[in-house]
Amino acid sequence: MLSLRHEGYINDHSFNKVNQGRRTMSMTEEAKKLSDLSFLDPETLSAPGAFYERLHEECPVYKIPETGMFMVTKYDDLRAVLKDAETFSSNPEYASASSLQGDLAGTYQEILREKGWGHVVTLQRTDPPTHSRYRKLLDRVFTPKRVRELTPHIEEVAHELVDEWIDQGTCEFNFDFAMKLPGIIIAEQLGLDRKDVATFKKWADAMLAMAIKPMTADEMRQTAETELEAQHFLAEIFEQRRKAPGDDIMSGLVHAHGDDEEPLTMHELQNLMHQLITGGFETTQSAIAHGMWRLVRSPELQDVLRHHPDQTKSFAEEVLRHEGPVQGLARYTTRDTVLNGTPIPKNSMVIVRYGAANLDEEKFACPHQFDMTRKNVGAHLAFGSGAHHCVGAFLGRQEMVSSFNVLLSRLKNIELARPLPTPVHDFSLFFIPMKELHIRFDKNN
């Protein structure tokens, strides 16, 4: 098995260099008390590795002072939370209030209910056994068999996207490839027109906005209008599929009921689409973009993977562990509880911080080191665990593997075309979306 460190592919100097931006905390900040630091600082959210390390050592279950949320950071603690839906529910109805938006969250829902369809609990926002009904509908779609059958098309789309800009010798990779590839695939699977992928991305961003960053009243209303635009578009498609079903996910959802079952309501259909669209765009886009960023920071990996494409899967797994696109998701306590010595009151919002768990040295040796040959490379929690393990995990993994196999077969000498902004990522409580990634390259003839 190829070992990047042992075989000299990453020496101590290059390891330190390529990890800049992921474990960033100045000596002054490290010397401060944890209470003097803010996890919600944009630079900390963009490069949280050092903060996670502090939490592991000093406060594994951390109450974020600005929001009152509790953040769980250790691998075993996360697994315990994810297995205990009776105490740590996925249903936001157990929350006393929205910790980020306050009263604006209610206003947002009023706008949706008045002009469209308010949010109801489905899939990710439910617990077993209710969750099982929605999960079964989608498990039939995102099967390993279906993903295997789809793989040649994923590769075809990857080649098409590269064709659009390869002769220029440069591209803005985050938009020109990382967003478009999973966006096109999920649009086609849902039964939507791939030419509208940029519009779907705009809708996905709006659907996520209320949960990931504080907003003003004006921003909230504009975001609600964008989500309403998506809702009414999707409602028309659902009605079309009700009359004339096709071989796509939207048709399947409309007709997913037996003679003794009620069909999904429009509220349920809208909220399932909300989760499928946001998951199909945001997470895989981020994973592919971070994979390319890793190749830029570790150029020796480009040749390793080009000559050993069988290792691309391990590369993808380590990207997901090291810089997972979903850094955390929410749970809500149904009763007073204690976790790792920390009391958590009933109706508290608890963030299961996957990104921190994936850097837990008790689970992963030298966790801040990028090592795609580690023995437990696939043990990360980037896709969650238990009943809520990501329904699109098979598809997301294959999109990453296909993307990098195609990219490295056609490009070489990939490097940054311009410096990355500071911070590198947009502000997001739960995700870690790159702002931009301009690259230049040579054709691999």
Confirm whether 4 is domain-assigned.
no
Maximum Cα interatomic distance, the chain, rounded to a whole number of Å: 66
Confirm whether 392 is domain-assigned.
yes
Contact 3, 13 (CB under 8 A): no
pLDDT at 127: 87
- The CA distance from 325 to 327, in Å, is 6
Confirm whether 1 is domain-assigned.
no
Helix (H) or strand (E) run with residue 441 in it: strand 438-443
pLDDT at 119: 87
Contact 302, 414 (CB under 8 A): yes
Supply the pTM of this predicted model.
Answer: 0.90
Q: What is the pLDDT of residues 290-323, one digit of tens each?
A: 999 999 999 999 999 999 999 999 999 999 999 9
Contact 191, 251 (CB under 8 A): yes
Confirm whether 82 is domain-assigned.
yes
- The CA distance from 425 to 43, in Å, is 8
pLDDT at 338: 98
Residues 6+ apart with CB under 8 A from 100: 67, 210, 211, 212, 213, 214, 429
Q: Residue 356's domain spans which residues?
A: 12-443
The dihedral built from the CA positions of residue 99, 100, 105 and 107, taken in this order, carries a sign that is positive
Nearest to 438 by CA among 418, 408, 421: 418
From residue 349, alpha-carbon distances to 5, 168, 207, 317, 383 in Å are 41, 48, 20, 29, 20
Regions of the chain short of the pLDDT cut 50: 1-22, 27
Strands 329-333 and 349-352, bridge-based pairing: antiparallel
Confirm whether 3 is domain-assigned.
no
Q: How far is CA 184 from the centre of its chain?
A: 17
pLDDT at 28: 59
Tokens representing 336 are 């007073």
Confirm whether 5 is domain-assigned.
no
Contact 322, 23 (CB under 8 A): no
pLDDT at 24: 57
Q: What is the mean pLDDT of the chain?
A: 89
pLDDT at 183: 95
Domain count of the fold of the chain: 1
Confirm whether 6 is domain-assigned.
no
pLDDT at 8: 29
pLDDT at 3: 34
- The CA distance from 215 to 101, in Å, is 7
Owner of token pair 């944009």? 42
pLDDT at 143: 86
The CATH code of the domain that includes 278 is 1.10.630.10
pLDDT at 164: 98
Tokens representing 190 are 């849902």
Confirm whether 59 is domain-assigned.
yes
